[in-house]
């Protein structure tokens, strides 16, 4: 039975999607500036804001965020006045990445300043699919609902992909470079190498469960990937297209065999790959479509991913 006295503020998109999947969308009273799914939450009060201009190239964004962090400053601010008005019973945030969303320390400081409410703070920090499931269960328990059925259905979809790829011949398992940031180069870590493996690929960079590593150009060149998939954090499909097209027009990128073969793909990393919640399963299915179109067709092409056509 749902507790209708719940007043939840979600300060990270993946948490908002977890709450929605648990059937508690109507209990959300506030969100982060990046929370945009499901669509019905987009008119809710915004409780965080970036302290830097999020527009511009990947290099410009990187430099702005780095400058703030090197100055021991937070990248985002909590809108304390908005929180005070909302009087939440629960605030869900993260402790994984100070660049991705408001930090746990900032949230805890803000909560101490509240006078009209004393919300429970739930902090998420998953690095693996099993930890995503555990987070979903913890959120469900904290909010007084049963998450078993939702989690079970997500696990079934993962198992369905894994079943089709587990017996692939070695020569049918492509070497995959997943790029989480293009300038400077960063490979995708955490849950992404795990998803690539489940989708029938060999992730060249990043270790399962470890943070995303910076990547040197020579490392990418020497690895000679069969497939490159761009999934920049915070970028939708069109913005990823613009950023990536500029990048691979350079002569060094043009010399990569994978670029010549046309096996370069861009994705909506903002909606899928960088949100450790229910849509990581969609992300797995997107990877499966890209890597093994002979086995999978879930219908994400054109929505979640496209092949990058350099001359278009």
**φ, ψ (nearest 5 deg) of residue 8:** -105, 135
Q: Compute the average pLDDT of residues 16-22.
A: 97
CATH of 8-146, one of 3.40.50.1980, 3.40.30.10, 3.30.450.40, 3.40.47.10: 3.40.50.1980
**Domain assignments of the chain as residue spans, ordered by start:** 8-146, 168-307
Give me the pLDDT at residue 224, please. Answer: 94
Tens of pLDDT, residue by residue over 174-224, are 999 999 988 889 999 999 999 999 999 999 998 898 888 899 989 999 999
Give me the pLDDT at residue 312, please. Answer: 44
Tens of pLDDT, residue by residue over 138-182, are 999 999 999 999 999 999 999 999 999 998 998 899 999 999 988
Separation CA 261–CA 264 (nearest Å): 8
Q: Do 6 and 27 form a contact (C-beta atoms < 8 A)? A: yes
pLDDT at 300 over 80: yes
Separation CA 3–CA 7 (nearest Å): 10
Q: What is the pTM of this model?
A: 0.91
Report how far apart the first and last C-alpha atoms of the chain are (Å, whole number): 53
Q: Do 24 and 2 form a contact (C-beta atoms < 8 A)? A: yes
Q: Do domains 8-146 and 168-307 have the same CATH topology?
A: yes
CATH of 168-307, one of 1.10.1740.10, 3.40.50.1980, 3.30.210.10, 3.30.830.10: 3.40.50.1980
More reliable by pLDDT, 51 or 172:
172
Return the structure tokens found at 294: 């002979």
Give me the pLDDT at residue 69, please. Answer: 58
Tens of pLDDT, residue by residue over 234-245, are 889 999 998 888
Query: Mean pLDDT score of the chain, rounded to an integer?
Result: 89
Give me the pLDDT at residue 137, please. Answer: 97
Q: Compute the average pLDDT of residues 269-279.
A: 95
């Amino acid at each position: 039975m749902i507790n209708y006295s719940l007043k939840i503020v979600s300060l990270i998109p993946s948490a908002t999607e977890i709450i929605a999947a648990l059937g508690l969308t109507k209990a959300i009273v506030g969100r982060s500036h990046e929370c945009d799914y499901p669509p019905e939450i987009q008119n809710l009060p915004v409780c965080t804001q970036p302290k830097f201009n999020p527009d511009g190239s990947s290099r410009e964004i990187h430099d702005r965020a780095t400058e703030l962090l090197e100055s021991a400053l937070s990248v985002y601010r909590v809108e304390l006045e908005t929180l005070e008005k909302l009087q939440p019973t629960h605030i869900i945030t993260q402790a994984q990445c100070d660049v991705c969303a408001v930090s746990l320390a900032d949230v805890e400081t803000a909560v101490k300043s509240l006078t009209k409410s004393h919300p429970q703070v739930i902090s998420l920090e998953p690095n693996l699919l099993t930890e995503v499931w555990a987070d979903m269960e913890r959120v469900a328990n904290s909010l007084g609902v049963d998450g078993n059925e939702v989690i079970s259905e997500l696990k079934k979809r993962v198992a369905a992909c894994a079943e089709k790829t587990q017996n692939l011949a070695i020569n049918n398992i492509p070497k995959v470079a997943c790029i989480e940031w293009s300038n400077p180069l960063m490979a995708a870590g955490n849950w992404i190498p795990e998803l690539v493996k489940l989708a029938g690929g060999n992730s060249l960079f990043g270790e399962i469960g470890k943070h995303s590593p910076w990547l040197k150009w020579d490392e990418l060149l020497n690895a000679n990937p069969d497939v490159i998939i761009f999934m920049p954090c915070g970028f939708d499909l069109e913005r990823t297209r613009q950023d990536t097209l500029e990048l691979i027009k350079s002569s060094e990128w043009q010399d990569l065999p994978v670029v010549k073969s046309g096996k370069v793909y861009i994705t909506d990393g903002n909606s899928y790959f960088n949100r450790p919640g229910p849509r990581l399963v969609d992300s797995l299915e997107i990877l499966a479509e890209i890597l093994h179109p002979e086995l999978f067709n879930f219908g994400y092409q054109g929505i979640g991913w496209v092949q990058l056509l350099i001359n278009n």
